[in-house]
Amino acid sequence: MLRVDVLHDVGTSLNPAIDIGQIQGGFVQGMGWLTTEELWWDAAGSLKTHAPSTYKIPTIGDRPAVFNVELMDNPSFQSATPYFSKAVGEPPLMLAISVHQALVEALASRLERPALNAPATPESVLLARSMNEPALASSAERNDAKAEVSVL
């Protein structure tokens, strides 16, 4: 992800610096959820990716190079919240759906109907691309592509 622009309605911000940090953190967490945090189970049905030590969580290196966050101060928002503020921690997590959609759109620029589930790991993006390549016409070739990707 090269650039992200977020405009978030905070009602009346209690602390703009904290709100911006919460928005950035929620967005990056959502990026991880949709691009790297893959769940794996063993043959017995035990979850093998149960902690940050067993799956990739986002790091500072995963943060977009350009990350613009602007707070939309909305003084007309009237609610029974402290100083008419709004939540800023969890809602930005869902904004990261745009990251998954950007990957789908990028694949769609080259493929007719790309199938890309979440999380869109690098392996699943490669598999989605290879599964839809016209050169991989037969089902045997698609299975070979699947096997090749699974060992990456």
Residues designated as active site:
90
- How many residues are listed for the chain in this entry? 152
What value, to the nearest 5°, has the Cα angle with vertex 125 and ends 120 and 129? Answer: 150
Rounded-to-integer distance, Cα 152 and Cα 139, Å: 20
Closest listed residue to residue 86, CA positions, set 96, 76, 94, 99: 76
